[in-house]
Structure 1
């Protein structure tokens, strides 16, 4: 049934929808523009943050390299004496005081001497040395306010800087180089060392200067950055290990242990950093495949995240990735507020439009409701209806048309009743005629639905089932036929016709009410209708079936008689051929005797001819039997017809003489 909208709502809804659509489209455009602005602002903010971080890191990593160049130059200009250990100690001590971001400044020589100054966790500066005076043990001393050694803190024997990784790397590369990030044992913090070889005037390496940079300053800088409201930034190396982050997440797995390992970004304590790292791996496969700055976005717990990743490299071995991630929600607060205001305005506009539409529709609907009540009265059969005019021109035209229609409808209804009665009588006669034709047909006629229920049946079918036509309608064959196999075959035939849409012809059996089995030749035709139905016409072919059975029995009897005849002929041939061959053979022997007179010789010839003719007759009888059995192959053959006639005449003459009859035969040449 088609949904019908009341006129009141048909007047109110379009008016409301227009206002709602105008406000909604305006709001949608505003929101979309806001989202585009958010994307642009987010992209710009990410670029600025990445640029600030890159600039800060560049400044940080430049300082250790500059200090190394200064120290190497001082040695090369003989401003520093590698043999003057106290001067080196105070020199490195003063450099640490000048550069707060540095944690260790040291020097190792080809003679195995090592001198350095280290900033401890409490901010004090310790002096380390390994010389012949210390018997090449590494001693660590605290210092006074002038940089002089004051108290021995620890001593490690057998220390040789030449066998340390930082020294060997500088000696191998021959140029300034950054070490791998490592954990400083004295402070248990991540650090990185810049190493540079020192050469004398002859170009021979005489030592390596090294400056350590603690990554704590990078952490502090990232924490001070304002990345949106809840955004985060972090730095990873190409293996995915965290270098620094803007959160309090631990960069070491077990910071309290001296052998603590660095933490992977995908195992970060920060869910946002962990999700970002996993997304980058899923996107690029490995961190070392990110070679250019990329602006991306992904979803975390249904919330969109703006992401930028940019490489940070230098000529000395720094190869890190700067990652900035900002939740979209940080930029959406104002847009969400605008959305709430828009929804509020839509609701207010909707309410005002609904109230105005209600009063307007009530004024328009009053005359229409009068027309509606009059129409319902006509529908109930009360055709004496008239409606009064209203204040609207269109309603007046509608009222006049309705009154005119009601008058015409009353006249037409009276005429229609007369015509309906006449057509009803004609239809009843046609139905009775069709019923008579169907019931007078000796064939079984029926119409069934897809479930096998009878929709129509004739008298012949009712008689077979021993019931009435009225009793059959609405029931199935199973209600009258006690044989499930027959019923199943009927139902299968019905379904085949309905499913394929093609006529089905079949031979079936039906057990009637008296228990007699009848043979039916049934045709099923699918009927085009809203519900699948099949028309069936079944002819009783029981007499034909019985005739076929009798014919088969007669054929079997004839075949048996023919077989007996064939056996008789075979036996007769054997019984006759044996003595006949003896007679013919004896006659041939007698013909060879020289003492026979002509009369006896002529008689012997007649015996031979008669025997040969009899043998030919036996062969002909056997040939006829073969022809009947369709086993004889006839082939044309030439023979002497006069001689054949003479032989027949001679045999006939002998039989005639035995009967006392004169027989004479002659032929023309």
Structure 2
């Protein structure tokens, strides 16, 4: 048993345990991922189905409301109870419908003679535009009360002719309800489409009624619909792959602004990621699928809505894969914290069996570095701690021998450098910066060690003398003395003979210099020369 424990501790039992825990965590994470992926797909299918159903119902409600209004107006017109010349009656008929269906922005009427009628809702205000064919370039604008009665009139210069508008031309020669291509409304300059129908009475035809739907209103509805589902986007797409409305209403409205707005296309910037979803699946109808776009995985659904014979709109709903996996992400974080707890427990074992013994050894070594004894206890462990303890005991013995040799070396150094009666210093060869100096240099020159270390050789040399003999560093063998003049801290001039040798100091190229003060000797020599001159005179 002891041999088994010694063997597994020798080869790192804790490391093997940690690897095993991480391996189990990886297996569990992978299993949870695929389980949650299946659940997320079911949730995505349910969310997109419900959102698609509401969007489809609302779009159907818009088309049905326009259809109902047009059919009702035809019924009244055919029975003779709707007179287009009676604008008050027209207003009283249409205003309740427009209040009930907020997507209907305006209603147009035009006949074969060029007479026209418009009722327009602007927020809470109402207006009429009346076009009489006898007044060729003029229209009459009237403000309306809440009951549809005109409160004021204003004539305006306008060459408007209802017979030239898309809603009129598309329905004039066809039976049933016709949906126009999106176009710019003359009144609001917004992009929209119109459902129109020709009126017939006693076999006479030529009048057309159109119901206008502003596309930005549809986008605002889709935006409100997606507020109930995080990150779901809804786009209404025409068969030619134009985007009719988008749940990203603000960005979509910006695209519809300008003097000549037009519908964005799936190939336009900002919609290209929908191409791979729309094109392969548009024929399926109510299809749920996944697709890749710009490095993302998305769940999607397509629903078709029939406007009239042969005309369909497509509702494309998408939701990012990551949104549906948020629950898995939360579970993963929870398990990760548990995993961290397990690692903490494992770390506690590591601290108890490894770090604490290492700290005890470190404490002994630290005391030894401060001059204390290195008393490493004998360990019976066969792992890394036991090996380290044995090595430190061997190191202790070797350090003892080296310490004695170091003490001898230090004594020699003090005698040769620090205790030398002559000034000695070490200078970096390239910068001439002082790196070290002995006590004699500090005393003779008056600078403290800290001040010396902040100076260079040029700072104490008198300007009249060069810092070194040219080519001196390149001379082999013993260095020749160099006579220089220095300035002490107290401004005294010191004449000195300097003998230097190149050395390596703390990894840098340097010179050690012996300074022999010859100031007094020079002064005596000068006095002697002066005396000799006097005797000669």
Distance 1:222 1:112 in 2: 37
**SS of match in other structure, 1:40:** helix
**CA offset digits 1:616-654 (Å, max 9, x no partner):** xxxxxxxxxxxxxxxxxxxxxxxxxxxxxxxxxxxxxxx
Distance in 1 of aligned mates of 2:120 and 2:216: 15
The residue correspondences of 1:238-317 to structure 2 (distance < 5 A) are 238-247=239-248, 248-251=250-253, 253=255, 255-257=257-259, 259-267=260-268, 271=270, 274-280=271-277, 284=280, 290-299=283-292, 302-315=295-308
Q: In the aligned structure 2, how far is the partner of 1:145 from the partner of 1:367?
A: 98
2:372 alignment counterpart: none
Q: TM-score, normalised by structure 2?
A: 0.57
Q: Does 1:144 align with 2:145?
A: yes
Cα distance in 2, alignment partners of residues 267 and 219 from structure 1: 18
Distance 2:179 2:80 in 1: 26
Question: How far apart are 1:190 and its partner, in Å?
Answer: 2.3
Any idea what SS the aligned residue of 1:45 has? Answer: helix
Whether the 8 Å contact between 1:139 and 1:152 is mirrored in structure 2 is: yes
3-state SS of the aligned residue for 1:51?
helix
What SS is found at the alignment partner of 1:173? coil
Are 1:217 and 2:211 matched, yes or no?
A: no
Residue in 1 that maps onto 2:117:
115
- Matched residue of 2:72: which SS? helix
Are 2:53 and 1:51 equivalent residues in the alignment?
yes
* C-alpha separation in 2, matches of 1:216 and 1:35: 36
**C-alpha distance in structure 2 between counterparts of 1:106 and 1:339, whole Å:** 59
Distance 1:156 1:227, change over 3 A: same
Contact kept, 8 Å, 2:232 with 2:320, in 1: the verdict is yes
Rate the CA distance shift 1:54–1:95 in 2: closer, same or farther, 3 A: closer
Shift of 1:48: 1.4
Deviation at 1:72?
A: 0.4
Partner of 1:207: 207
**Mapped contact 2:115–2:162 kept (Cα < 8 A):** yes
Say if 1:178 and 1:317, in contact at 8 Å, map to a contact too: no
Q: Work out which of the residue numbers 16, 21, 30 in structure 2 matches 1:28.
A: 30
CA distance in 1, matches of 2:204, 2:219: 39
**Residues 94 and 134 (structure 1 numbering): CA distance in 2 closer, same or farther, change over 3 Å?**
farther
Within the candidate set 95, 106, 109, 2:108 is matched to 106
Q: For the residues of structure 1 that align with 2:347 and 2:7, how far apart are their CA atoms?
A: 14
For residues 353 and 89 of structure 2, the distance between their equivalents in structure 1, rounded to whole angstroms, comes to 102
Alignment of 1:357-436 (within 5 A): none
1:334/1:153 Cα in 2 relative to 1: closer, same or farther (>3 Å)?
Answer: same
Could you say what secondary structure the match of 1:235 adopts? strand
Larger Rg: 1
Structure 2 CA distance for partners of 1:219 and 1:153, relative to 1, 3 Å? farther
Structure 2: state its 5+ residue gaps. 1-5, 358-378, 388-537
SS in 1 for 2:196: strand
Any conservation in 2 of the 1:296–1:307 contact (CA below 8 Å)?
Answer: yes
Name the residue aligned to 1:324: 317
Structure 2: distance between partners of 1:146 and 1:136: 29
Q: Structure 2 CA distance, aligned partners of 1:211 and 1:152?
A: 24
CA distance in 2, matches of 1:87, 1:305: 52
Aligned residue for 2:172? 171
> 2 CA distance for matches of 1:176 and 1:29?
56
Matched-pair contact (CA < 8 Å) for 1:89–1:116 = no
Kept after mapping to 1: 8 A contact 2:277/2:300 = no
Q: 1:314 is paired with a residue of what secondary structure?
A: strand
> How far apart, in 1, do the equivalents of 2:293 and 2:101 lie?
42
Structure 1 or 2: more strand by fraction: 2
Q: Write the mapping of 1:401-480 to structure 2, written as runs, cut at 5 A.
A: none
* Counterparts of 1:113 and 1:152, CA distance in 2: 17
Partner secondary structure for residue 230 of structure 2: coil
Q: Which consecutive unaligned segments of at least 5 residues does structure 1 have? A: 374-669
Would the aligned equivalents of 1:116 and 1:127 in 2 still touch at CA under 8 Å?
yes
Bigger RCO of structures 1 and 2 (CA < 8 A, at least 6 apart): 2
- Once residues 293 and 175 of structure 2 are traced to their aligned partners in structure 1, the CA distance between those partners, rounded to angstroms, is 47
* Shift, 1:128, TM fit: 1.9
| Separation of aligned partners in 1, 2:49 and 2:87 | 48
> Residues 181 and 318 (structure 1 numbering): CA distance in 2 closer, same or farther, change over 3 Å?
farther
The alignment of Structure 1 onto Structure 2 pairs a total of residues equal to 354
CA deviation map 1:110-149 (0-9, x unaligned): 34332231123x4321112223564584433222344233
**Aligned pairs for 1:554-593 within 5 A:** none
Compute the displacement of 1:196 (Å).
1.2
SS of equivalent to 2:176 = coil
Change (3 A) 1:346 1:103: closer
- The DSSP-based 3-state class of the residue aligned with 2:257 is coil
TM-fit CA distance, 1:166: 1.9
Q: CA deviation at 1:54?
A: 0.7
Cα deviation for residue 188 of structure 1 reads 2.4
Counterpart-to-counterpart distance in 1, 2:253 and 2:266: 9
Q: Structure 1 or 2: larger helix share?
A: 1
Q: Cα–Cα, structure 1 residues 6 and 318, in superposed 2: closer, same or farther, change >3 Å?
A: farther
Contact 1:94 1:147 in 2 (8 A): no
Gap change, CA 1:185 and 1:291, over 3 Å in 2: farther
Shift in Å at residue 57 of structure 1? 0.8
